[in-house]
């Protein structure tokens, strides 16, 4: 019998799969895994269906169909004034997850260190591991999930090769301020680091707050790989259409890995997503306002229940302190909630390198508010 490789066994099953399966088994309300319980506009789905019925069913260009790359470059230019050439600076991936994996493979060598902020999205350690690198965490400071230049500096070693920055940030909902982004940029320039930015929540920034994109800061475009996704922006997380913007020499390396992971993202879905990028500005405004309403509704409910939290400036997550309710560690607490309250949440300690050593992660749970108001209300009622 074939023996499994021991290498990957340490990662077990993703917390998102664990919690969604537990929620289904127990008939619980799923405020755990971050997927909307509604779909993006019909116009996008219709375009993909037409593409399937038409003749868009064979492999696409490995780096993405030209029209989509062009639309992505136009959108980026519109929101940031950054100019990327769709021919050699824009690439389409099977989700931001694949793009992250390719970035680790393309730029990180065995023994390198990659700095990121904890808590962090669960595929970051796996990406670093796949490259033989070490993920070095800077823990965001509770209760406001901030950091200082010294926090970053204290993590630097001669092996540091890159910094991976996720803003708007999963799970805390932080949108890093311009001065925080400048701290990171100065650190990257000082130590000549590559910057990988994960901007998948770029359109989910609330209260008209500014969103500072790393590549817009002086000296950063040439050292930054921007990773984003259509998953959250168009409420189509199952389509897995992600993309990158990077200078030609970095894009070449990303494409080189991508051709041997999935070769190309699903062709008819790439065609469908073109219709998404042709939606008017009003679409993005409505998306933001609808999410802001869900955020405010959930936050008001959590406040009434005595949870303490930093109100998220972006994303569709709230990380809340439950220490007034239970002294159980977060993993046990979330399992108990699924059974006794029929609500599924995510324990946040899993978003740290050493979950058990992390005071920060021990009494915090993540709520996802990418659900209709009725579902959020039902979740809050169950908790009450
Ligand atoms: N980065 C972050 C921070 C995420 O929360 C997610 C989850 N969607 C991803 C990347 C992956 O995006 P995709 O679904 O496009 O692979
Ligand atoms: N990004 C989603 C979340 O944080 C989950 C994505 C996934 O399941 N891989 O909940």
Question: Quick one: pLDDT at residue 360?
Answer: 65
Ligand 1 close to Cβ of residue 160 (< 6 A): no
**91 CB less than 6 Å from ligand 2?**
no
Report the Cα 299 to chain-centroid distance in Å. Answer: 21
Q: Tell me whether residue 285 is exposed, middle or buried, using C-beta atoms within 10 angstroms of its C-beta: 0 to 12, 13 to 18, 19 or more.
A: exposed
Quote the number of domains for the chain. Answer: 2
126 lines ligand 2 (CB under 6 A): no
Q: What is the pLDDT, as a whole number, of residue 1?
A: 67
Mutation choice for ligand 2 from 15, 17, 34, CB with most ligand atoms inside 8 A: 34
CB 127 within 8 A of CB 103: yes
Name the 3-class secondary structure at 116: strand
Q: How far is CA 39 from the centre of its chain?
A: 18
Q: Is 91 in the pocket of ligand 1 (CB under 6 A)?
A: no
Q: State which of 262, 277, 292 marks the end of a domain.
A: 277
Asked if 54 and 194 sit in the same domain, the reply is yes
Query: So what's the pLDDT on residue 383?
Result: 96
- CATH code at position 101: 3.40.640.10
Q: Are residues 249 and 333 in the same domain?
A: no
Per-residue pLDDT at 323 exceeds 80: yes
Measured in residues, the chain has a length of: 384
pLDDT the model gives residue 83: 98
Average pLDDT, the chain: 96
Q: Determine, yes or no, domain membership for 224.
A: yes
CATH number of the domain enclosing 297: 3.90.1150.10
Distance CA 247, CA 336 (A): 48
Same domain? 153 vs 287: no
The residue whose CA is least distant from atom 1 of ligand 2 is 34
Helix ranges (H only) for 27-121 are: 42-53, 66-80, 95-107
Tell me if the pTM is above 0.95.
yes
Asked if residue 213 lies in contact with residue 353, where contact means CB atoms within 8 angstroms, the answer is no
Residue 8 lies in a domain: no
- State how far Cα 4 lies from the chain centre: 29
What residue's CA is closest to ligand 1, atom 5?
170
- Same domain flag for 56 and 25: no
Q: What are phi and psi of 173, to 5 degrees?
A: 80, 5
Tell me what the mean pLDDT of segment 133-138 comes to.
97
How far apart CA 47 and CA 37 sit, in angstroms, is 21
CA distance 245 to 69: 10
Separation between Cα atoms, residue 374 and residue 285, nearest integer Å: 22
Indicate the pLDDT class of residue 32, thresholds 50, 70 and 90: very high
Pick the closest to residue 125 from 351, 345, 330 (CA basis): 351
Domain encompassing residue 161: 43-277
d(C-alpha 176, C-alpha 187), whole Å: 15
From 253, 277, 301, the end of a domain falls on: 277
- Mutating to test ligand 2, I would choose from 121, 166, 240, 315 the residue with most ligand atoms within 8 A of its C-beta, which is 121
Residues 156-171: pLDDT tens digits? 999 999 999 999 999 9
Q: Is residue 246 part of a domain?
A: yes
Residues above pLDDT 90, as percent of the chain: 94
Q: Which ligand 1 atom sits nearest the alpha carbon of residue 198?
A: 1
| Contacts of 61 by beta carbon, 8 Å cutoff, 6+ apart | 264
pLDDT, position 354? 85
For the stretch 190-239, pLDDT in tens is 999 999 999 999 999 999 999 999 999 999 999 999 999 999 999 999 99
Judge contact between 363 and 322, C-beta under 8 A.
yes
Looking at the fold, whether 253 and 328 belong to one and the same domain comes out as no
pLDDT in tens, 335-356: 999 999 999 999 999 999 987 7
Contact 169/176 with Cβ under 8 angstroms? yes
């Amino acid at each position: 019998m074939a023996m499994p490789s021991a290498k990957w066994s340490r990662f077990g099953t993703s917390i998102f799969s664990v919690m969604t399966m537990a929620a289904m088994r127990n008939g619980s309300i799923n405020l755990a895994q971050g997927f909307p319980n509604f779909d993006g506009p019909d116009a996008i789905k219709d375009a993909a269906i037409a593409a399937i019925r038409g003749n868009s069913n064979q492999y696409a260009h490995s780096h993405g169909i030209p029209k989509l790359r062009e639309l992505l470059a136009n959108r980026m230019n519109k929101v940031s004034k950054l100019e990327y050439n769709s021919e050699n600076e824009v690439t389409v991936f099977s989700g931001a997850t694949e793009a992250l994996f390719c970035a680790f493979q393309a730029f990180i060598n065995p023994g390198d260190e990659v700095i990121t902020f904890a808590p962090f999205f669960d595929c970051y350690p796996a990406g670093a591991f796949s490259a033989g690198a070490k993920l070095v965490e800077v823990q965001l400071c509770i209760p406001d999930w901030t950091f200082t230049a010294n926090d970053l500096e204290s993590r630097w070693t001669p092996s540091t090769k890159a910094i991976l920055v996720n803003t708007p940030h999963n799970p805390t909902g932080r949108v890093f301020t311009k001065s925080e982004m400048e701290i990171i940029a100065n650190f990257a320039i000082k130590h000549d680091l590559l910057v990988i930015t994960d901007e998948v929540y770029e359109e989910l920034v609330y209260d008209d707050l500014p969103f500072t994109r790393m590549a817009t800061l002086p000296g950063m475009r040439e050292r930054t790989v921007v990773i984003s996704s259509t998953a959250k922006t168009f409420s189509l997380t199952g389509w897995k259409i992600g993309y990158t913007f990077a200078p030609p020499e970095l894009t070449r390396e990303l494409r080189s890995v991508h051709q041997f992971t999935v070769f190309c993202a699903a062709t008819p879905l790439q065609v469908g997503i073109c219709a998404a990028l042709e939606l008017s500005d009003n679409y993005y405004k409505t998306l933001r306002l609808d999410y802001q309403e869900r955020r405010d509704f959930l936050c008001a409910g959590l406040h009434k229940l005595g949870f303490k939290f930093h109100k998220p400036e972006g994303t569709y997550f709230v990380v809340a302190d439950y220490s007034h309710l239970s002294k159980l560690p977060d993993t046990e607490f979330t399992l108990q909630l699924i059974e006794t309250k029929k609500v599924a949440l995510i324990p946040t300690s899993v978003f740290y390198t050493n979950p058990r050593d992390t005071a920060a992660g021990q009494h915090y749970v993540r709520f996802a508010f990418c659900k209709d108001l009725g579902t959020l209300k039902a979740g809050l009622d169950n908790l009450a």
